[in-house]
Structure formats: C-alpha cells, structure tokens
A = this chain, B = another copy of it.
Amino acid sequence: MEQKTQLSGIAALQKAEDFFHPGFSVDCVVLGFHNGNLKILLTRYKGFDKWRLPGSFVFKDEDVDAAAFRILKERTGLDNVFLKQFYLFGNSDRNRKYEQRVSDVLKELYQIDLPEDHWYNRRIMTLGYYALVEYSKVRLPERGYEGEFIEWHDLDHTEPMYADHSDIVKKALEMIRLNLNVLPLGKELLSEKFTLPELRVIYETILGNSLDRRNFQRKILSFGYIEKLNEQRKGGSHKAPNLYKFDTEKYEKAMQQGFD
C-alpha cells in the first residue's frame, strides 16, 4: 500500500512493467447532483487537449474494484463510494483511434522514452464503473491531482471527450437506467435530508422525461425505505417541502427480498 501511494501519477507510469496489470485500465463515470442538475466529474491531463473520465491503470496485486475505489478516493477524498462495474470496452481499435498516445505525451512532457511495442501503445481495455457521490462532500484537489485538472461538468454539456469516453458515459447512463429501481439514488446522490421533489428531478434527469409528481411520491414511498421527517425546507417562494431521509437498513432488506 505504501508503495502504491508513492508511485501514483507520473512516477508509476514510467514503471509500467513493474507495477501495472498490462493492457488494462479502469475508468469511472462519477455522478453528483447540484443545483438541480446532474454533474459528472471529468479530468484533463497535462499535455492533453480533451476532458476524460477519471481513471487509472490497475496495480498488479490490486483488485479491480479496489482500483476503482482508489480512483475515487484520490479525486474526491471519499471512501465507501457507491461503485458498480458496468461494461468492458475491449475493441481492438480502442487505442488506434486515439488522437494522442500516452507514450507521446510522456516523451514530450517528461522525456520518458518508451519502446514502440510497449503496451501503452497497443490496445488497452478499460472497465467502466459508474459511481454515485454526494456532491457537497466531494473535495476536489485544489491544484488537481498528479498533473490532472479536475472539474465537475454538466452531464448534458456534450463537449466531445478524449477517445471513446463519450461512448462510455452514454453506456453508463443506459446501464443506470436499466437498474434504476435497484439503485439507492436518494442515499448516494443527496445529502442526509432531502425533499421528494429533489429526488424526483434526479429520476427525471436520468430517464429524460418528466414524472407525475403525485404518482412518483406515492410509488417511492411505497418502497418503504424513505422516511418522512418532521422538518421542512424553507426558502422558496412557495410552500415549504417536507424533508425525508433514506433508511439504509430497510433498503437493504427490500433488496435482499424481492426485486422483480
């Protein structure tokens, strides 16, 4: 573990053969919710033009899941993030179509010379994870992380990303949509206390259509794992909405029993 921490970033990139599982990486689609919008966490590496998903190679003795947790920890400071692998992107042309090769950038910026046939220059498979995080708890590294600039972006802001990362985001949202009724969106994306309209906006954003306010409330409450509090959120020029909190225990019971 010591070793890993010390050798993250550029230092580790030079020692690929010694430390990384070759030809493989992990990329994370990290979603947060702020001001009524879904946000995605993107990074830009020094020397690269485009934004990309936060990702990493995987250490030889590291579980793939652990790599994903490490990526999140390094960029957001958060532990125990909600993470799910959703797809392996493994086409043989995955790297051939990249505009900028890792080895070229390493050479230009750090005078690191890698042989042409190094696995950095061949197809690298990447396993996509999606993560749901509480926006307000995220502490982005002020000056970026190891030569990365890190920012939240609007999810619907469609600036083209590095390589096939836009496709990865698209696939992530598809997979999230498929599993919507099994995901604890309320728990992961919102702070402890939240209103049902806030929760509804999340579902609406992900589904891409609006939901009937009354039917949504009835349905989500019928699941039984969202608990009404005796508090309201003041502030809008309208009736103060009730606050609710997510009951993790009841959620887990519900999941274990019947989902269909």
Contacts and interface: CB of A to CB of B under 8 A. Distances in A.
Contacts of A40: none
Nearest to A67: B90
Contacts of A12: none
Contact of A122 (B60, B87, B122, B125): B60
A204 to B, nearest CB: 15
A51 interface: no
A128 to B, nearest CB: 10
A125 B154 CA distance: 34
Contact of A64 (B61, B122, B125): B125
B88 A63 contact: no
A131 interface: no
A210 B122 CA distance: 50
Contact of A92 (B23, B63, B88, B125): B63
Q: How large is the interface on A (under 10, 10 to 19, 20 to 34, 35 or more residues)?
A: 20 to 34
Contacts of A64: 88, 90-91, 125
Interface string A44-75: 00000000000000101111111000000000
Nearest to A181: B260
A197 interface: no
A141 interface: no
A119 interface: yes
A184 interface: no
A21 interface: yes
B91 A88 contact: no
Interface in A4-28: 21-24
A127 B23 contact: no
B85 A63 contact: no
26 contacts: A21-B23, A21-B125, A22-B22, A22-B23, A23-B23, A23-B24, A24-B24, A24-B125, A58-B90, A60-B92, A60-B122, A61-B92, A61-B123, A62-B92, A63-B90, A63-B91, A63-B92, A64-B90, A64-B125, A65-B90, A65-B91, A66-B92, A85-B87, A85-B88, A88-B88, A88-B127
The 6 closest A-B pairs by CB, nearest first: A64-B90, A22-B22, A63-B91, A63-B92, A61-B92, A88-B88
